[in-house]
Structure formats: C-alpha cells, structure tokens
C-alpha cells in the first residue's frame, strides 16, 4: 500500500469504504506475517488512582473529586496470583503518579513478582519518573514501560496539560526508557480536543522514527468533572484506521485493542484486531476498585474486559480466527 504522507492523509479522511476495507485487510495480513493469528493477553492491575498531575482530559486528575484508593503490595501480589492461575503471563501495573509508590516499594514488589512468576513479564505504566528511578525499576526486573506521548505536537500537548507539565520531559522519559533497555510503549488519544489531521501526522512521524515496541491508542472519552467533560468523544472509525496505518508503518509493533474502543463500541475490540491490533488487556484489578479507576465515563471493566472472563474472551477471539498463546508475548525484532 502507498504510505506516502498524502495517501495517509487520504486514508484518514476518505469516505470510500473500499479504500478502508483494503487498508484493514492489508494491516491484518501484515500482523499475521509477523505474529501469526495470535493475540497476546496482558493482565491490567490498576494499582492507584492517586495522581499529582492535573491533565485536562483525565478523570483521576489531581483536582477531580473521586474517591481515592491505592492497592497494597499484598493486594497487587494477590492479583498476580489470580492472573497467573487464569493464564496471564504479563502483568501491567498502571496508576496515577502517586508518590506513595517510591522506588523502594516498587523494587521490592517487582522482585517479589519476578521471584514468584519467573515466566512472566512485568510492564509498568506509572507516568514520568527520573532516569535513576527508571534504572532502579529496570534493575529490579521491570521488562516494559508504557508512557503514551499523548501528542507529538508541542502546542497541542500544552493545550491538554497544565503549564507545569512539559512535552520535552515526557519525550525525554521515553528516550531514557529506551536507553535503559525497556520495551517501550508510546501512544495517544484519538479525537482529543484540538487534535487535527496535522497533529495526527506528527504522531505517525514520531512512531516511524522512534519505533516504540508498543503503541497504545484509543478514542478520547470525556470524563465528568474535568475541563473537557462536555467535549465530544473521539471516533471509533478513525481509531481503527490509525491502528491499521500504524501496523503498516511499523509491522512488528505490539498494538492493543484498548478498553476505550470496547467502551465506545460493543465489538470495538474485535474490529481493532481485524484492523491489525494484536494485544488485549483485560482488567485484573480487585472488583471493588475497578469503578474507581474512572479515567473517563462508563469505562468498561466487566464482561470480556474482566480478567475472570478470560475463557470467554478466548472464545470470542477464536470465533474471529485468533488464538491467545500462553506466552509473555514479547516484541519480535
């Protein structure tokens, strides 16, 4: 497929259904050539909704009036035990930027997880930290780090974040993580307020040059109590096109069918896989905290989005011709 800038712009904006079907088919074929008909499963553990940041879009931003929780290391280990029993071989520890999770606490936790589950990968998604902190986490056993860049356009970044947050620092973190040997995940929301085709083109250029091992994209969904609560949600259709384009630009990338897609469309996850995605991240957090990690409205955490429904998820994916291997699902160079 022609992946010139002009053609990518065309694919992002066209209403020609044949061009879009061709795009999805080619992306799906490209994924099959690298990873086969496999979808990798990650167990998502939302370890805290405390956050020092005040991102304008996020439902757990510092000034949001949500009930705050944090899981204890023992609770997190229990989630891992349950996940391992259900067949998960990657645990993703995600949360707001919460100072309670010091390097010492996280390193001890990582060492415990790796000692108990040496066959598993651990992914962290805990926001921006210093290079020394990243180094300690890596040395303690963390394999991967997800830190969406949110947008590769510095002006757009400034319109989504308060002035104390810095685009340059976020990008620096991604470079530090790469230098330290993490498998790195970047990504962005689709349809965030002020986003244009031009800013999306910058995201795609960034992905082509930085070549993150993982790219997480999902539609923006408004969150009550945030400055963007009355903005429109991003488009499922545009998200699918972007997933397919990213697969074609970077065939080896690990590409999740995100919860946000499943929240906006009942078969959003399956459609994402048909468009080239190859990762799903069901929720392994304790049942009573799932609704508290409310980064946007009506976030799904039940049904096939719930880790305890892993068997059901396997059946849904088998129905569209995919297997879920019992492996870590690392990036294939």
Query: Which positions touch ligand SAM (CB under 6 A)?
Result: 57-58, 94, 96-97, 125-127, 147-148, 150, 189, 218, 220-221, 223, 260, 295-296
Minimum distance between the CB of residue 107 and ligand SAM, rounded to whole angstroms?
Answer: 19
Which of 146, 244 has the CB closer to ligand SAM?
A: 146
Nearest approach in angstroms of CB 224 to ligand SAM is 10
Q: Which is nearer to ligand SAM, 23 or 254 (CB)?
A: 254
Q: Given the complex with ligand SAM, which of 300 and 324 has the nearer CB atom? A: 300
CB of 27: closest distance to ligand SAM in angstroms? 22
Nearer to ligand SAM, 150 or 203 (CB): 150
Whichever of 9 and 70 has its CB closer to ligand SAM, that residue is: 70
* CA distance linking residue 265 with residue 257, whole number of Å: 12
4 CB contacts (<8 Å, ≥6 apart)? none
Round to whole Å and give the CA distance between 214 and 247: 11
Shortest Å distance, C-beta 85 to ligand SAM: 26
Q: Please report how close the Cβ of residue 77 comes to ligand SAM at its closest, in angstroms.
A: 21
| Unique residue bearing structure tokens 């991604």 | 174
* Tokens describing residue 321: 């011709």
Over the chain, what HEC string results?
A: CCCCHHHHHHHHHCCCHHHHHHHHHHHHHHHHHHHCCECEECEEEEEECCCCCCCCCCCCCCCCCCCCCECCHHHHHHHHHHHHHCCCCEEEEEECCCCCCCHHHHHHHHHHHHHHCCCCEEEEECCCCCHHHHHHHHHCCCCEEECCCECCCHHHHHHHCCCCCCHHHHHHHHHHHHHCCCEEEEEEEECCCCCCHHHHHHHHHHHHHHCCCEEEEEECCCCCCCCCCCCCCCCHHHHHHHHHHHHHHCCCCECECCHHHHHHCCCHHHHHHHCCCCEECCECCCHHHHCCCCCCCCCCCCHHHEHHHHHHHHHHHHHCCCECCCCCCCCCC
CB nearer to ligand SAM: give 77 or 233: 233
In angstroms, what is the minimal distance from the CB of 29 to ligand SAM? 29
Least Cβ distance, residue 19 to ligand SAM (angstroms)? 27
Nearer to ligand SAM, 23 or 126 (CB): 126
Using the minimum distance from each CB to ligand SAM, give the nearer residue, 215 or 249: 215
Q: Please report how close the Cβ of residue 232 comes to ligand SAM at its closest, in angstroms.
A: 12
């Amino acid at each position: 497929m022609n992946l010139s800038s002009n053609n990518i712009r065309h694919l992002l904006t066209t209403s020609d259904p044949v061009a879009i079907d061709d795009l999805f088919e080619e992306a799906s074929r490209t994924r099959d050539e690298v990873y086969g008909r496999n979808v990798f499963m990650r167990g998502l553990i939302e370890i805290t909704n405390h956050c020092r940041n005040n991102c304008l879009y996020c439902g757990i931003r510092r000034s949001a009036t949500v009930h705050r929780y944090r899981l204890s290391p023992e609770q997190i280990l229990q989630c891992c035990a349950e996940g391992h029993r259900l067949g998960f071989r990657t645990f993703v520890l995600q949360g707001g930027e919460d100072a309670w999770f010091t390097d010492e606490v996280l390193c001890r936790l990582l060492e415990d997880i790796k000692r108990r589950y040496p066959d598993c990968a651990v992914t962290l998604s805990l926001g921006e930290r210093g290079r020394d902190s990243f180094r300690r986490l890596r040395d303690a056993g963390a394999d991967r780090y997800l830190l969406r860049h949110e947008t590769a356009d510095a002006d757009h970044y400034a319109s989504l974040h308060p002035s104390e947050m810095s685009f340059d620092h976020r990008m620096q973190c991604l470079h530090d993580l790469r230098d330290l040997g993490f498998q790195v995940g970047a990504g962005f929301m689709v349809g965030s307020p002020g986003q244009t085709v031009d800013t999306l083109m910058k995201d795609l250029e960034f992905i082509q040059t930085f070549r993150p091992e993982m790219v997480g994209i999902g539609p923006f969904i408004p969150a009550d109590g945030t400055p963007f609560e009355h903005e429109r949600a991003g488009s499922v259709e545009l998200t699918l096109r972007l997933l397919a384009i990213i697969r074609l630009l970077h065939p080896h990338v690990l590409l999740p069918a995100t919860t946000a897609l499943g929240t906006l469309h009942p078969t959003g996850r399956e459609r994402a896989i048909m468009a080239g995605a190859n990762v799903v991240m069901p929720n392994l957090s304790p049942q009573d905290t799932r609704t508290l990690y409310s980064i946007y409205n009506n976030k799904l955490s039940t049904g096939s989005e719930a880790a305890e429904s892993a068997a059901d998820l396997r059946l849904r994916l088998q129905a569209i011709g995919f297997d879920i291997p019992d492996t870590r699902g690392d990036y294939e160079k």
